[in-house]
Structure 1
């Protein structure tokens, strides 16, 4: 009897140990699951805490996921071909709309001329626009008088020269393999910075050969709006062959009033920082500065009541240069660009780095030559 009891006790002890082992294993599995959930939540929290670029909210659409994870990170093209809008063109794939919007938003923020010019989206390489160069005849007649026939308006065609703007940022394979690396945000920012630098120079002084025609590369003339050929910009002299004369403020005031009153609504100054440094020192006869800082955060600095845009591609103050432009660039300069940015992934040219060759077709030209005026350094 005692033997049976002892055997039963031993058996129950083994059962208890076995159950404890099973419980410990279950606890370990549960802890592992909890740790995995915590890790996922941490990754989501870090992703959510990243600031959106200029208010553009990143989406987790299948199109973006497939493009970023499948093509940009791993170079797979098969899954892209089944997605609408992602077709190979010009040697690359058109980026999803969400990423393209991030690039466009950053471009608008850091490209000075793009901020103030007129921008149109086109679906093809060429873009043309007709601009009326003269109004129709008008007059007064009595109630019973004959109505004379009005003259026909005259038009000029504006076809902005364009070219393929490209950027070629590179990332290491280790960066691409890191799931925490924000490839989408990094690539958008890199492309936007490179695009902004290249197009900023072209919008100011581009030759028009496989690139936009800059407003400073357009024809110039001393003639007023009534007699000046269409497409040429009016300028006034600074009064000194090497800089400004003794009364520089009078030249700036003259420059403002060469612009028609309608264009002065929305006009702005464009100059580089070196020129702005000289302008900020200018005073009126009573000792007041012409330049006034913005009194409210986010408001631009002003010169003679008009905002100042700093464009580093504008020339410095030197003989026969045009260091200052004043005008309504929304009416005066046209930027035409193809809507889609294309990207070609290149892991072979510069191993172990992966290059992302991004292209976008951009054109530009003076639209209304009466809306932009220039100051030339000359006697």
Structure 2
């Protein structure tokens, strides 16, 4: 799992000739792309701008190579922060901040568990909130900075005036995840916030496995959809594979009450490895890309590798290396796609789940509901969301080779009306 690190500051830009505000945010760790927010009235309240994760601002019609130049576009402020930033920063236009008036506000979260509200045109810090002590290098993993605090990109509900944040904190010396619902105007916890993340799931033998914060990394961006908040979990450096597994958890956005069901990607009681050691994982990490939805009540994510010693894929009790579709209540796996070389991906640590799944807007033609996903082996699969293909040899979905992907795709429609995946 390769990643890069960036200094703990963000850069703010404006277009001087058109008085057009543009917020340019440094790429997050884990290989995420630059996020550009155009036009002063445009808010970016979730990872890649929408819950389908397109990364496309369809209302932006001003920026082009001819006017993004050294004379019209440049640095206006640098803001020193208290730790590394691995989450995408979010923007809310015309946002009231208590005691500070109205601003276009950039919300930034750091691995020190600090949330900042920053004025986008001046770089002035308007509010801060620290959500508790971060966890120093969990399990000794070095694929992160010295601390792990807020890693997954938060999500904002402007109507509720709430930013939802998952913080990894030390509580009585023990690592714990806490889901916060913060007031956008004050950055203070709302009533009922935070809640401690707890979950359990039945294994194949009927026994119950409890969520273990010590071995789970909350890496994908949070999703608000269907009145719920969703978070995916993976591992730290693939450490503790005998304990760590992929989880998708959800909570009611209004009450932070946990949903009655959740997804555990590997429900085997023991892994039948030929070396006598349990090896689970099937993590949901996606290089920080967000859990996605299709706008009609379904959520999507991609899983990573499982046991490299023996093929444990079943499509039910273990769903590694797969794009997965679930209903909003997380009660069942509705459909999935698993590449036919699933075991060789496991053997080579070639996670399909190194990349996220992009849900495309409806397309013309006989297959209108598409999604795309790519991973470390460089194949970008084009998937029919209504019939994803499950496991089939040869692979049913079409694919193109794009090179190794610790990433997630974006989508836009050009002036010619043709949709493009980039």
The structure with the largest helix share of the pair is 1
| TM-score, normalization by structure 2 | 0.19
The structure with the largest strand share of the pair is 2
Structure with max Cα Rg: 1
| TM-score, normalization by structure 1 | 0.20
**Highest relative contact order (Cα 8 Å, sep 6+), 1 or 2?**
1
